[in-house]
Structures are given as structure tokens and as C-alpha cells.
Structure 1
């Protein structure tokens, strides 16, 4: 099969490489006479990088990419509205990626200076692409990858209706040093709260950043692009009230290489193909740049189309499947971008909660499902029994997750040490001794030395933080609570302190800037509601677990109970319950839970501790999991290298 790709940009070149790996005959036709250097830099997700890594072994040249692990949105006065961790995102200069992709092709299959004119048809099927220079390229399928102003798209469907241009974006590369701490590489954005104006910069390397200024077209006269000097003056004038950090970026910029991008989009097409001609990248779909997903989407188009061409019985079926698989994500990005544009243009109408974060969406977000049995779980981040019961809760979710809805409430175990008297524990030294005893009894890692070296003054700060996290996402809040427990019980970190709370929050995908605001507001109110609820139900022991059907409490248990007790209660109130069989590989369990102790792994997988140790050590030597040693045991963690799954060659 021969594929003729019309457009030698990132989408077209990637498509050509993927098809060539499948032994297709590929010819790429690019309208420019030489490599196009327009465009400065962009962000790419792990999804896109994993596709590029497939070609790494074919080429000795390296492709520079700069990891970006934090996104921060601030107001011009410095107030931070959003702070989130970015997983797997990198900044990449467009010229570097284009040069890298060009290096895979020769003049035989990458032909420059070909401006598409029209197709030749036989029986309504395209047999050749004709170019304005008179050249003709015959093929079996034709792939339009010629950008937002696609002539291929117009030849198939006519002109699309672009949305009116409401936002301009000025883009440049600044030579200001961009990275001080490689562990905190920040995509920093400043956005006005009173008008449609924003400035952002992203490190492209240690020595330079790509920057952009987005502005409502109504704020400009239209003369800003007449010369580099006019563009420079316009930027400085518009950003007068922005911090010195912004001006420092502009001071190190060459405005003769900066340009204005007139942002626009069009509705998702009803199909991406006609007969044997198909579209990918911006030719097929176009979204405004607020989501930073354009390049990644082009790569995912190429990957998806290649897969469907290989696995389908006909070209028509392949193109239909390609459209079906890409439609939902692409339409979501289109709508997300439009909403972000609305928020940008009308900032006074939206609080920070109105923002859909650029770059990320909750792919795993699911519609709430009504489950018959509600479990009300009263806990506390520093409760040792609540740590020991973790394997039980995890196994319950795996085997009975379709039937149970666990709702987490804080119990307020340690208000302070002043006049504290709860059983045998009256001071931090008592807590240290108790934790050591619990660890020994249940063969679970707990390190009581935290109560000697850096004792918490109260369990209220992490408890309030958990309630604040629930406002953002209940699932992320549960992961956050688990991470807080790992930090205190195994890593001896004082989780009553904000820096530790923030580290846990960012790790779990929470917005730490919003979390901090809610800790002092809505989160505190929700925590007090939990305390009142616990008092009303006379809850004094942790964990206390209530089982309800139709909001009526049926029974309760306290403390650490055997797994069979939970199963007995579930079967009593749901007689027709069907337990899920856990048939996950060891690596799959780590993908699901990320961190596990050996006792957790043994309990969940029904293996002995001895057998579990052998399995975990084998995974460790394969580089699939990592380990964190503590005084009384070890925490096994899914390897960062395994998560990325990206070749180290480049």
C-alpha cells in the first residue's frame, strides 16, 4: 500500500514514520521549499512523547525536551490561584522536533516545494494528488496533514466556518535563564482578573523560555504588529501592572523573531474522510490554544489512524474507526478551549473555581453511580489502627466496589497535647511506644520515632486539609489521605506542616493554591461538620465504620476487624452480591495502588508474606518497582521509569 501524505509538519512526518514502520510505501509532500521554522515551542504530554519514542532506535540524534512539572496561575499582584503538579509534560522547541523528524527521511520520500492543487479521481476514488508545479503523485490512500488552512479539507468538504478571532497571542523565545531548581520547573502564567490579558512563560531549557501574551483583541488598535519595535512597545505597555519577573522575560527577548497568532477554531467535522482521503492534525480539527493539546493531538491522530489501518478489513472501516476513537477527546478539547476563552475574556464573572485547568483533564472522571450499601468511615490521618486497616479497605474496593460507597469523615483524634488523655496515650512518648507495639503486632511498617524527633502538635491540620481536598475531588482526596499516612507512618514526616501537606497534595493531582485557601475557609467548616456528626453518633473510637442502606444505619463496627466480618455484613444486606475475582498481575496491582507494603500485597493477592517478598524483590530487580526502607518495614512503590515508559535513548 502506498500512502501520500500532504503536509510535512509534525502530524504528517509522524504519520509517515508510523506507516513506514508497518512497511508501507510513504511519500510526504510539503508545500514549503525548505524546512519550516515558524513556531517557537510547545508543551507535549507523555502520550505524545511515547509515540515519538517509537522512532528513537532508528536514529542516533537526540531530541531535546525539557520536563515541566508544575503549573501556576497567579494574578498580576502575585496572588496564586492555581498550583498543580504536571505529570509527563515537557516543553519542546518546534524547530528541534521538526529537524529531528526530517532527519528520518530522504529526498525520495520527502518532497519539498509541492503546493497541493487537486486530486485526480477514477470512479469517485482519488488516484493521485496534483501539485501547482505540475507534479503528480499516485497512491492508494491520501492523508491531509496540511494544517488549519487545509486545501485538502477544502477540496473534500468546502470551506469551514472559523469562529471569529477574539484573542490574539504574541509568542517569543526569551534568553532569560529559566530553571533554578530542576525539581520545580514551572509553567508560570499571570492572568488579569479585570480584563482579557495574560502572560505566561515555560522553560524550554536552562537558558531560555518560550513566552506568550494573550490579549482580548478589543484591547488593541491593530497596529501592534507593524514592526518589532511596535510589538515590543505594545507588550510593555499592556503588561505595566505585571510583576518584574514578566519584564525580565521581555527584556531578554528579540522581538524581530516574535509574532502574533490569531487564535480561532471550527466545529468538529461530521467525518474526517471521504472515500480514500482522510485528514489528521489541524486539518481535521482545530482548537484555540488554551488547552496546550494541539501537538499531542496531532501525534495521537497519527498513531490512531495507523492502528486502525493495520487492524481493519477495509480502508473505509479504518477511517470510520479512527474518527470514532478520536471524536470524543477532540470535541472535549474543543469545548474546553472555548470555555477557557470565555473565562479569559470575562474574568470578572468567574472565580478560580471556574477555571478548567489547561493541559489536564480528569480522564478517569466518572459519573456518580448509586451503590446500595453506604459505608461511613470515621478516621484520622495519625490513627495507627486506620493505617493497619488499609489492606482491608483496598481489597473491599477491588472485590465489592460495585456495591459499596465508602464516605470518609474525620474524627479529630488529636486536638492538641494540652490536657490530652486518650487511654494509654497522654503524650508524644506514649504515642511513639504505642506505634512500635502496633507495628510489631501487625507486622506493618510504622516508625514511632516521629513522636520523638518531630512530634505533631495536632492532627487537625492534615484532617482539615483532607476536607479541603474533598471539595476538589473525592477520589483525589482519598489518595491524598493515603499519601499523608505514608508520609507520617513510614517516612517520619510531620504532616501537620504546610510544606508536607502541599507535597502530598501536588503528588495526588490536587491544586495546592486552592487547597490552601479552602483550608482556611470551606475545608475548616466541613471539618467542624464532621466533628459535630461524630459527636452526634457518639463516635469515640477510630476507625468507626457504619453501614447504611437508603440512609438508614443498619450496623456498625469499630477498630480492626477481620475481612470476613466485612464480607458477612455485605452479604447480609446485599444477598445477591457477586464478588469480583482479583486477577491482576503484580505489576497491575502497583499500577492500581502505586504504593504497597508487603503485608498489603500479601493480603490483597492472597499470598504468604514469604512468597510476596520474593515477588516484590523480583519486580524490584526488573526496575518495575522501587523501595523505601523504614525502621520497621518497607514501602514498595511503582517505578517512575515504569510510569513514563519512554525510551531513554533520546
Structure 2
């Protein structure tokens, strides 16, 4: 079967490569007579990059990309509203990606200078694409990948109704050195709080940044002009209230290659195909640029359509499957783009919170499930007994997760060392000795040297950070608590210090800028409410765990108790309780819990230490988990992403 692709941009080239890997005959037709450098650069998610990586072959084609691992949104006065970690995001120059994709084709398979005119039909099926220069390309299946102004789309469905242009975006490439710290490659955005105006820049390489200025068209009134110098003056005038960092980026920009993008979109089409002609990329759907989704969506279109074509009995079935699989996500991105535009144009009324980079997945956006047993758990980030009991809580969640809802409350174990007197511990040296004793008695990794090398003054800062994190996401707050515990008990990090808390917060997907504000505001209030609640219930031991059904308290467990005690309470509360019998692989356990020791893995899976060691070593040899050799034992850590070849570090 011969496939004729109309459009030699990213969508068309990727589609052609994917079909060629399946041994389909492909001819791509591009309207430009040569490769053009329009579009400058864009963000690419891990989903899109994984598709591109599949094209690498024996010719050792190299894809140029720059990882971007942090996003920051600030106000023009420097006030930071958002700081989040980006996982698997990269910036690519469009010319580099087009050159990379072009390198896989010859003049016979990628034909330049062909502007689409119309189709020739026979029995309602397209049999050939006709181009304005008189060329005719016959084929069996035709794919329209000719962009937002698609002539193929128009020939199938007529003209679409574009939304009015309310936002312009000026885009350029600046030669200002983009990266100062290779470990913290930052996508920085400044956005006005009073009007629709923003400026952002993203490292495209060690020495270049792609930048953009988005603005409400009513602010411009034709001042952009029609020359590079006029455009330069316009940008500086619009951004005069923005910091020097912004002006420095503009100073290093060549405005002769800078262009204005008039942003618009259209409603999701009722179908992406007609007979044997189908659309992909911007030809099929168009979202506003706020979503950073355009290029990734084009690649996902190509992958989804290829899978549908190679697994379906007919192209009609394949086209319907392709539309069904892509329709929901594409419509969501369309709506997200419109919501972002709405908040951008009226920042006094709408907040940016929750509408930054919608492709950053948020697993917490799920409907809560009512569970019969509520476990009220009083804990503290530095409580050694709360650390020892972690395997018990993890196993309970695996076996009885459908029945229990754990609600976390902070107990305030260490206000300060002034007049502190809790049992045998009266100072940091006592805490160090106690932790070493606990480590030996319960065979748990627990390093008391933190109390000698860098003792915490109080457990309140990480406790308040947890409560502040709950305002963003309860699940992420629980992840933060666990990560803070790992940092102090295993890695000897002083988690009362903000830099350590911020590192943990970013790794857990939290907005650290908002977290810091809430630590000094709402989070502190919630922490004080927890202290009052603990006092009301006369909680003085940690952990203290209350089991309730509805509003009725059933049982209270204080201190370290065996797993069987917890199981007995659950079974007595719900006599017909059914244990989860799902078989969970070793790898899936690490995907859920991130790290475990041999003892913890053995306890959770009911295996011997010897059996666990063999399993963990096998996972390590396969490159699926890593080792962390602590003073008191080995920690096995899940490898979240395989190690890929990365760009050269900036020096």
C-alpha cells in the first residue's frame, strides 16, 4: 500500500518514518522548496521524545535537545508564584528537529516545492494528490499533515471557524548564555498580575534561549510595526516594567529573524478522516500555544495512527480507532488552552495556579473513594518509631487499601531543645544514641550521626511543610513526608532547613514557591490545628493511630505494634473484609514505593531475606533499581527513567 503524505513538517515526517518502519511505501510532499527555520524552538515531553528516539538507526543520527528540569513563574517585581520540577521535558530548536527527521529521507521519498491543489477521485476514493506545479502523486491512502491552514482539511470538511485572535506571541532566539547550572536548567516565565502580558525564555542549548512575549492584542494597537527595529522598540516598550534579566535576553536577540504568531484555535472536528484521506497534527486539531502540547501531540497522532493502521482489518476501522483514542486528550488540551487564555487576559480575576504546563500529569486529579475505615495517624517527621513502622503501613495499604483511608496529622515531637525532656532523650547526643539502638534492635536503617554532625533545632519546620503541602495535594504531601524521612534517617540531611525541604518538595511534584508562602501562612495555621487536636485527644506517644468507622472510634494503637495487631483490628471492624489477592511483581512494588531495604521487601512480600536479596540483585543487574549503601544497610531505589544519551554539559 502506498501512502501519500501532504506536509513535510514534524507531523508528516514522523508519520512517514513510523510507516516506513512497518515497511509501508511512503512519499512525503512539502510545499517549501527548502527547509525553513520558522518556529524557532519548543518544549517536548517525554512522550514525544520516546517516539523520536525510536527512529535512531545504524546511521547514528543524533537528535539535538536540551533537558529542562525546572519551571518558575514570577511577577515582574520578582515575586515567585510557582516553582515546579519538570520530569522528562526538553527544549528543541525546530530547525534541528526538522534536519534530524529530513536526514532519514531522500529526494525520491521527500519531494519539496509541492503546494497541494486538490485530489483526483474515483468511486469517492482519492486516487491522487495534484499539486500547483502540475505534479501528480498517486496513492492508496492520503494523510493531510499540512498545518493549521490545511488545504487538505478544507477539501474534506470545508473551512473551519477559527476563534478570534486575542493574544499575539512574539518569538525569537537569543544568544544570551542560557545555562549557568547544568543541574538546574530553568524555564523562566514572568507574567503581569494586572494585564495580559508575559515573557518567558527556555534554554535551547548552553548558549541560546528561545524566548516569547505573549500579550493581549488590545495592548498593542498596531505598534509592532513592520521592521525589525520597530519590533525591537515595541518589545522593550512593552516590557519596561520587567526585570533586567528580560532586557538582557532581548539585547542579545536578532530581531530580523523574530516573528509574530497570531494565536487561534478551532473546535474539535467530528472526524479526522473522509474515506481514504485522514488528518494529523495541526491540520486535524489546533490548541493555543499556552499548553506546550502542539509538537508532542503531532508525534502522538503519528504513533497512534500507525498503530491503528497496522492492527486493523481496514483503513476505515483504523481511522475510527485513531480518532477514538486521540479525541479525549486533544479536546482536553483545547479546553486547557482556552482556560489559560482566559486567565491570561484577566489576571486580576483568575489565578495561574493549576494551569501551568497542562501536560505535566497530576495523578491526584481523581475522584475520591469513600472507604469504611478511617485511620487517624499522629506522627512526626523525625520520630524514629514512626520510621520503623513504615513497612507495616505499606503492607496494610497493599492488603487492605480498598478499606482504609489514612489521614495524617502532625504531633509536634520537638518544639526545640530548650527545656526538652521526653523520656531518655534530653539533648541531641541522647537522640543519636537512641537511634543507633533502634537501628540494631529492629534491623532498620537509621543513622544517628545526624544528631552529632548537623542536629535539628526543631521538628516543626518539616511538620509545617507537610501541612502546607496538603493544601496542594494530599498524595504529594504524603510523598513529601516519606521523602523527608528518608533524607533524615538514611541520608543524614537536616530537614529543618528550607533548602532541603525545597529539594524534597520539587522531587514530589510540589510547587515550592507556593509551599514556602503557605509555610508562613495557611500551613502554619493547619499545623497549629493538628497540635490542638492532638492535645484534645491526649496524644503524647508517636505514632498514635485511631481506627474509626463513620464517627465511631473503634480502637487506638499507640507506639510500635506488630502487623498482626493492625490486621486484627481491621478484621474485627469489618468481619467480611477480603484481603487483596492481586499478584504484585517486585518491579511494580518499587514503582509504587520507590525504595525499600531487603528487610522491608521481605516483610511486605512474605519472603525470606535470602530470597529477597536474590530478587533485588536481579532487578539491579537489569538496571531497574539502584543501590544506596548507607552506614546501617543497603537501600534499593527504583530507577524512574532509563539513562539516555544527553546533551553535552555546559561548562
Which bin holds the TM-score, normalised by the shorter protein?
Answer: over 0.9
User: Which shows bigger deviation, 186-195 or 364-373?
Assistant: 364-373
Residues 403 and 116 from structure 1, CA distance in 2 versus in 1: closer, same or farther, beyond 3 angstroms?
Answer: same
Matching residue of 1:330:
330
CA 1:124–1:649: 2 relative to 1, 3 Å: farther
Structure 1 counterpart of 2:374: 374
Tell me what 2:612 maps to.
612
Post-superposition Cα deviations, 1:35-65, rounded to whole Å, max 9, x if no partner, equal 1221100010111111100011243231111
Residue 124 to residue 574, structure 1, CA distance change in 2 (3 Å) = farther
Report which stretch shifted further, 121-130 or 39-48.
121-130
Does the residue aligned with 2:412 lie in a helix, a strand or coil?
A: coil
Aligned to 1:12: 12
Match of 1:246 in 2: 246
In 2, Cα distance between the equivalents of 1:649 and 1:176?
Answer: 19
Structure 2 residue 64 is matched with structure 1 residue 29: no
SS of the aligned residue for 1:114 comes to coil
Output the CA distance in 2 between the equivalents of 1:208 and 1:331. Answer: 33
User: In 1, Cα distance between the equivalents of 2:462 and 2:280?
Assistant: 47
Residue aligned with 1:556, SS: strand
Counterpart position of 1:411: 411
Aligned-residue Cα RMSD (Å) equals: 1.6
CA contact (8 A) 1:53 1:647 kept: no
- Using the alignment, how far apart are the partners of 1:327 and 1:568 within structure 2? 48
Match of 2:55 in 1: 55
Corresponding residue number in structure 1 for 2:520:
520
1:127–1:138 CA contact under 8 A, matched in 2 = yes
Alpha-carbon deviation of 1:364?
5.6
Can you list the C-alpha shifts for 1:139-182, whole angstroms capped at 9, x where unaligned?
Answer: 22211111101111111111111111100000000000011100
* Cα deviation 1:472-531 (Å, max 9, x = unaligned): 011111111110000000000000000000000000000000000000000001111111
Alpha-carbon displacement from aligned partner over 1:515-574 (angstroms, at most 9, x marks no partner): 000000000011111111111111111111111112322112122222222222222222
Conserved 8 A contact 1:288-1:338: yes
Q: Which residue of 1 aligns with 2:94?
A: 94
Per-residue deviation at 1:646? 4.7
Q: Against the structure 1 CA distance between its residues 649 and 457, is the aligned structure 2 distance closer, same or farther, given a 3 Å change threshold?
A: closer
Q: How many residues align?
A: 648
- The CA distance in 1 between the partners of 2:276 and 2:237, in whole Å, is 51
8 Å Cα contact 1:465-1:523 kept in structure 2: yes
SS state of the match for residue 505, structure 1? Answer: helix
Give the drift of 1:389.
Answer: 1.3
Structure 2 distance, partners of 1:314, 1:421, is 77
Give, in angstroms, the shift of residue 358 of structure 1.
5.0
| In 2, Cα distance between equivalents of 1:357 and 1:474 | 21
Q: Which whole-Å deviations, capped at 9, do the CAs of 1:448-489 have from their partners, x for residues lacking one?
A: 000111111111100000000000011111111110000000
Please say if residues 186 and 202 of structure 1, whose CA atoms lie closer than 8 Å, have aligned partners that are also in contact: yes
Shift of residue 333, structure 1, vs aligned partner:
1.2
**Distance in 2 of aligned mates of 1:451 and 1:173:** 50
Map of 1:390 onto structure 2: 390
Residue equivalent to 1:469: 469
Partner of 1:600: 600
Match of 1:482 in 2: 482
Match of 1:203 in 2: 203
Structure 1 unmatched ranges of 5 or more = none
State the SS of the aligned residue for 2:370: coil
* Alignment partners' CA distance in 2, 1:625 and 1:475: 23
Secondary structure (helix, strand or coil) at the match of 1:553 reads strand
Name the structure 2 match of 1:318. Answer: 318
Is residue 292–residue 357 contact of structure 2 (8 Å, CA) maintained in 1? Answer: no
Aligned-residue offset at 1:447: 0.2
Match of 1:589 in 2: 589
Alignment correspondent of 2:298: 298
Which secondary structure state, in structure 2, belongs to the residue aligned with residue 353 of structure 1?
A: coil
Alpha-carbon distance, 1:361 to partner: 3.5
* Aligned residue in 1 for 2:565: 565
C-alpha offsets along residues 393-423 of structure 1, whole Å, 9 cap, x if unaligned? Answer: 2222222222211111111111111111111
CA distance in 2, matches of 1:402, 1:325: 30
Question: Is 1:193 equivalent to 2:172 in the alignment?
Answer: no
SS in structure 1 of the partner of residue 418 of structure 2: coil
SS in structure 2 of the partner of residue 88 of structure 1: strand
**Alignment partners' CA distance in 2, 1:551 and 1:356:** 39
Distance 1:317 1:193 in 2: 49
Structure 2 unaligned runs (5+)?
none
1:431-442 equivalence runs, <5 A: 431-442=431-442
Matched, 1:123 2:109: no
Alignment of 1:342-361 (within 5 A): 342-353=342-353, 355-361=355-361
Structure 1 residue 355: Cα displacement: 4.1
Name the SS of the counterpart of 1:348 in structure 2: coil
Aligned to 2:457: 457
Confirm or deny: 8 A CA contact 1:50 1:646 kept in the other structure.
no
Partner of residue 530, structure 1: 530
Q: Give the CA deviation at 1:21.
A: 0.6
CA distance in 2, matches of 1:414, 1:649: 45
Distance 1:12 1:56, change over 3 A: same
Query: C-alpha separation between the residues in 2 aligned to 1:644 and 1:553?
Result: 47
Distance 1:286 1:312, change over 3 A: same
- d(CA) in 1 for partners of 2:91, 2:636: 31
Q: Distance in 1 between matches of 2:618 and 2:354?
A: 47
The answer (yes or no) to whether the contact 2:66–2:647 under 8 Å persists in 1 is no
| CA distance 1:649–1:493, change in 2 (3 Å) | closer
Of 517-526 and 580-589, more deviation after overlay is shown by 580-589
Question: Residues 480-519 of structure 1: matches in 2 within 5 Å?
Answer: 480-519=480-519
Query: 1:262 aligns to what?
Result: 262
- TM-score if structure 2 supplies the norm length? 0.97
TM-score, L = length of structure 1: 0.97
Change (3 A) 1:43 1:388: same
For 1:93 and 1:145, locate their aligned partners in 2 and report how far apart those are by CA, in whole Å: 20
Q: Deviations over 1:414-437 (max 9, x none)?
A: 111111111111111111111111
1:283 aligns with 2:278: no
Write out per-residue CA displacement over residues 239-268 of structure 1, whole angstroms, 9 at most, x where no aligned residue.
111111111101100000000000111111
| Larger displacement relative to structure 2 (229-238 or 582-591) | 582-591
